[in-house]
Chain A
Amino acid sequence: EEKLVQSGVQVKKSGESLKISCKGSEYSFSKYWIAWVRQMPGKGLEWMGVIFPLDSDIRYGPSSQGQVTISADMSTSTAYLQWNGLEASDTAMYYCARSTGAGWYDALKIWGQGTMVTVSS
């Protein structure tokens, strides 16, 4: 079964750094885009950006550019989302999701279970 498994719950303080992960299995990790999607408490889905692990081609959403860093490690089939200075407004559930096809804009077929990040001020 194709799967994405994300790292666990995080509780941090404002200003701290954080890197969360998303490990793919049972499919060719290098052939599909991995997107990160934010969902703030009680709110809708927000696309943060996407990476193609084979060549680390990355696209960021307008509100994520300069705020987070997306990366991937093909040797471990893992994608990452990183912050260098968290803010209380970063409190949210973060999902990784795999594209259906080869386009960075393709629909997202496989979703991770989500990582809840709570930032206290």
Chain B
Amino acid sequence: SYALNQPPSVSVSPGQTASITCFGDRLGGMYASWYQQKPGQSPVLVMYQNDERPSGIPERFSGSNSGNTATLTISGAQAMDEADYYCQAWDSATVVFGGGTKVTVL
């Protein structure tokens, strides 16, 4: 079955850049999406179709997808960006989420 692999955790200093990676076989040939989830809250879509930001998502969030790796980048990370981030793609008959990356801003 298809799998998406993410690093368990990423740390970033306030104002610096955080890159969250998502690895999957042939992922660059699909659309990847990204969700942010804060404790006790529902997930929020922050990126879709690799690099499209939904309305209301700050410009500091950007996305890319090439080869086997999709990347969500937070440029100028803020304390409010501390959350779990999940990538998502699909393969044949199912949608798959990555295992999630905990982003710590400190």
Q: Mark A29-47, 1 if CB is under 8 A from B, else 0.
A: 0000001010000001111
Count how many pairs of residues, one from A and one from B, have CB atoms less than 8 Å apart in the complex.
59
Max count, chain B CB within 10 A of own CB: residue among A50, A62, A105, A111? A105
Say how far A37's CB is from chain B's closest CB, in angstroms.
8
Q: Are B86 and A45 in contact (CB under 8 A)?
A: yes
Q: Which single member of B33, B49, B86, B93 contacts A44 (CB below 8 Å)? A: B86
Q: Are A111 and B44 in contact (CB under 8 A)?
A: yes
Q: Does B35 contact A (CB under 8 A)?
A: yes
Closest to A6 in B: B42
Q: Are B33 and A107 in contact (CB under 8 A)?
A: yes
Residue count of chain A within 8 Å CB distance of chain B: 22
Known A47-B94, A47-B95, A61-B94; contact A107-B43, beta-carbon cutoff 8 A: no
Q: Mark A74-109, 1 if CB is under 8 A from B, else 0.
A: 000000000000000000000101001000011111
Residue count of chain B within 8 Å CB distance of chain A: 24
Q: Are B45 and A107 in contact (CB under 8 A)?
A: yes
Please name all residues of chain B whose beta carbon is closer than 8 Å to the beta carbon of A45 when the two chains form the complex. 35, 37, 43, 86, 88, 97, 100
Closest to B99 in A: A44
Q: Are B99 and A111 in contact (CB under 8 A)?
A: no
Q: Are A112 and B42 in contact (CB under 8 A)?
A: yes
Say how far B27's CB is from chain A's closest CB, in angstroms.
14
Q: Which single member of B45, B94, B97 contacts A109 (CB below 8 Å)? A: B45
Q: Are A111 and B42 in contact (CB under 8 A)?
A: yes
Say how far B21's CB is from chain A's closest CB, in angstroms.
16
Q: Are A114 and B95 in contact (CB under 8 A)?
A: no
Q: Are B95 and A61 in contact (CB under 8 A)?
A: yes
Q: Does A23 contact B (CB under 8 A)?
A: no
Q: Does A113 contact B (CB under 8 A)?
A: yes
Q: Does A12 contact B (CB under 8 A)?
A: no
Q: Report the 7 A-B pairs with minimum CB-CB distance, sorted nearest first.
A: A107-B48, A105-B90, A107-B33, A47-B95, A111-B42, A44-B100, A45-B97
